[in-house]
Each structure stands twice: as C-alpha cells, then as structure tokens.
Amino acid sequence: MTPFNRLLGERIRRLIVAQGRTQESVAVEAGIATSTLGFLLKGQNSTINTVLSVMVALKAPAAMMAEIYADFAEHQREGAYG
C-alpha cells in the first residue's frame, strides 16, 4: 500500500459518501465486484480500468480527475508510487 493508493481510496470513499451511494451500487454500475471496490477503497493496488470504471460510475468531476493525476505525479517524483 502506497501513500498515493491510500489517498486515492479515501478520495473515492468521500465521493461515494457525498453522493449517498452504497459500495454495492457503485460496484454494480462500474461492472466490478464489490470486493474489488473494497480493495480500491482500502488503498490496495488496483488496475487503471478499475479506477476509471469507478470514476465513471460516480460521474467524478474533471477537477477530481486532475487532482488524482497531480497526486500520482507528485508521488511518482517522490518515488512513493509503488
């Protein structure tokens, strides 16, 4: 688990809560298993397909996607991207 993965999981968890959604409903809409979403929310490694599927299911704003990219770039420069 890397700092970036933990931050990503927390961002997505906050978005789910803010939308009043359940993990199950997001997973179904994203076409992934609930356990896969759970791994993502816990900060475990996830595929880019999983992350993007969840972001689409949540209709994540472009600004959030830009923040995630900036976080990844920062952690990569620091060598903490895993």
Q: Which of the pair, 71 or 24, is modelled with greater confidence? A: 24
| Total structural domains within the chain | 1
Contact 58, 16 (CB under 8 A): yes
Cβ atoms of 57 and 40 closer than 8 Å = no
Q: What's the CATH code of the domain at 12?
A: 1.10.260.40
Per-residue pLDDT at 23: 97
> Domain residues for 52?
3-78
pTM of the model: 0.85
pLDDT in tens, 33-81: 999 999 999 999 999 999 999 999 999 999 999 999 998 898 888 875 4
- For residues 6-30, give the mean pLDDT: 96
